[in-house]
Chain A
Amino acid sequence: MLPLILAVLAQADGDLLPRLQRRDAQALAELYDRYGGMVYRLILRIVRDSGIAEDLVQETFLRVWNRAGGFDSERGALGPWLLAVARNRAIDYLRTQGRRTETVMGLNETEHPALFADFAAQALDLHLAQQVRRALEALGTQQRELIELAYFEGLSQSEIAKRLGQPLGTVKTWMRRALQQMREGLGWKGAVSA
């Protein structure tokens, strides 16, 4: 049943893109109905304030609504793009609130529509999301904290090292081990070629 549902969702997303590009109001409503909960929970997890989260959810959907024209309607994946935009809006908010003292690579680069082309089938796999959650839970507390600082606060390795009071080299080592353990937990063991 799940693959069928996912296939329907993927097909529906494929239909949403051209409709969003035509400024179809109903398409935006459907996009919200499909991803509004995910976007809200992600932003809330990052900013930890429901009022701010509501503002940022609005900004996120407006950004996608206004930039849908940059998507390849044949191959784009709306959900991942939407969540990338949501995460970036929330982390930008944290930075502007002074909770961050320095920035790293521009987050905007991570939400460029082209990055989400040919992504739909994999990204819509909610089963994968559940696997990722289990893989995260399987990490040790310290390793999970590293991943969460990078993901939910957008901290660079230098910032994480400063936050944890650890040498940068140590943090890099811990981070690589944590990511490798997650990949193994997900069964992603593809060989790395030179």
Chain B
Amino acid sequence: MRCADLQPDCLLYALGTLEEPESTEMRTHLESGCANCAARMKEARALAYSMGAALDGPAPPRRLRARVLAAAGADTQRHLSWYAGWAAACAAALIGAVLIFYQNRRFQGDMALVRAEIERRSSEAAALREALHLIQAPETREVTFGHSETTPPRGRIFVNPAGVLIVATHLPAPPQGRAYEMWVIHGGRPQPAGLFQSDPQGNAIHLYRPSSPVAQSDVIAVTLESEAGSSTPTSTPVIAAPL
């Protein structure tokens, strides 16, 4: 084929869009060493390049550069930032772990308080149920105290073989390190019947549940003793209720 027939198709060949059989004819001709057509082909490639290079349009987004270099594993700055990022991630993880640790501790502390409060209220509820059961028991005897006195405390005592319940008002809060101790006195011999405190309003409730049935008693008394309790009364009774 003559050069004049081939050269108009040089650009299409350079663009890769020349069809068969013209494409094969062009390739064969170029491989034959035709300098004229080789020069025209170089010109066509320059034209093809220039068409692509001369385009107007938006600039690529800034992030694309980093993305390309990272994809090639060639971004030294990215390596640095990777290390920096890794360090930052480690620091963040450490800070997060510390925060979680302290939050967990705080949470555990809160949970302990909640559990303690639940236990306390459960214990109170159980004590109240026991107290109610004792009050309602047909064999329970009830006595009052303090109502004939000019000064309080005042209250009621419920006694049956299963236990003794004292409910008092106007009972001052004991001094630091001291507690009220109840006594079951029979034949002049006091038996310790448990320690208790009054609340800030001066109210107190104490249930004594002995391991063995309460023997016949003459008097129920309350004295102010040390917090550890005492085997015998060491102070003047603040409450003394003859049964």
- How far apart sit A136 and B53, CA to CA, in the bound complex (Å)? 13
B72 to chain A, nearest CB (A): 5
Q: Which of A4-47 contact B (CB under 8 A)?
A: 23, 25-26, 28-29, 32-33, 36-38, 40-42, 44-45
Chain B residues with Cβ below 8 Å from A151 are: 15, 48, 51-52
Indicate if A104 sits at the interface (CB-CB under 8 A): yes
Q: How many B residues face the partner with a CB closer than 8 A? A: 50
Contact check: which of B61, B72, B76 meets A54 at CB < 8 Å? B61
Q: Does B47 contact A (CB under 8 A)?
A: yes
Q: State in angstroms the CA–CA spacing of A6 and B235 once bound together.
A: 112
B75 at interface (Cβ–Cβ under 8 A)?
yes
What residues of chain B lie closer than 8 Å to A147, measured between beta carbons?
A: 51
Would you call A130 an interface residue if the criterion is a C-beta within 8 Å of the partner chain's C-beta atoms? yes
Q: Once the chains bind, are A84 and B49 in contact (CB under 8 Å)? A: yes
Q: How far is the CA of A133 from the CA of B17 in the complex (A)?
A: 21
* Cβ contact within 8 Å between B36 and A132: no
Chain B residue at minimum C-beta to C-beta distance from A66: B72
CA distance A188 to B201 in the complex (A): 112
Instruction: Determine whether the beta carbon of A44 is less than 8 Å from that of B58.
Output: yes
Contacts of A105 in B (CB 8 A): 13, 16-20, 23
Contact with B along A43-81 (1 / 0, CB 8 A): 011000010011001100110010000000000000110
- Majority SS at the chain B contact face: helix
Q: Which of B52-82 contact A (CB under 8 A)?
A: 52-61, 64-65, 67-69, 71-76
Kindly report which residue of chain B lies nearest to residue A194, judged by CB atoms: B2
Instruction: Please determine whether A80 and B45 come into contact, CB atoms closer than 8 angstroms.
Output: yes
Residues of A contacting B118 with CB < 8 Å?
A: none
Which residues of B are in contact with A by a Cβ distance under 8 Å?
2-4, 7-9, 11-20, 23, 36, 39-40, 42-43, 45-61, 64-65, 67-69, 71-76
Check A123/B46 contact, CB under 8 A, given A83-B53, A133-B54, A136-B51: yes
Q: Which residue of chain A lies nearest to B61 when distances are taken between CB atoms in the complex? A: A54
Binding site for B on A (CB under 8 A): 23, 25-26, 28-29, 32-33, 36-38, 40-42, 44-45, 50, 53-54, 57-58, 61-62, 65, 79-80, 83-84, 86-88, 104-107, 109-110, 115-116, 118-119, 122-123, 125-126, 128-133, 136, 147, 150-151, 154-158, 175-176, 179-180, 182, 186, 188, 190, 192-194
Q: Is the CB of B8 within 8 A of A180?
A: yes
**Contact (Cβ within 8 A) B60 A29:** no
**Pair A119/B16 contact, Cβ less than 8 Å:** no
**B residues less than 8 Å from A157 (CB atoms):** 12, 17-19
Top 5 nearest A-B pairs (CB, nearest first) are A25-B74, A40-B60, A129-B54, A41-B57, A132-B50
Structural contact, B68 and A57, CB atoms closer than 8 A: yes
What A residues does B49 contact at CB under 8 A?
A: 79-80, 83-84, 123, 129
What's the least CB distance linking A186 to chain B, in Å?
Answer: 8
Q: How far is the CB of B68 from chain A (nearest CB, A)?
A: 5
Question: How many Å lie between the Cα of A150 and that of B29 in the bound state?
Answer: 22
Cross-chain contact A25 with B50 (CB below 8 angstroms): no
Q: From A118, which residue of chain B is reached at the shortest CB distance?
A: B42
Q: Can you show 29 pairs from A to B with CB atoms below 8 A apart?
A: A25-B74, A36-B65, A40-B57, A40-B64, A54-B60, A57-B60, A58-B64, A62-B71, A62-B72, A80-B45, A83-B49, A83-B52, A104-B17, A104-B23, A105-B19, A110-B15, A125-B50, A129-B50, A129-B53, A130-B54, A154-B16, A156-B18, A179-B8, A188-B43, A190-B40, A192-B36, A193-B36, A194-B2, A194-B3
Contacts A151-B48, A154-B17 known; list 15 others, CB within 8 Å. Answer: A37-B59, A38-B53, A54-B67, A61-B72, A79-B49, A80-B46, A87-B52, A110-B14, A116-B45, A123-B46, A131-B50, A147-B51, A150-B17, A182-B47, A192-B4
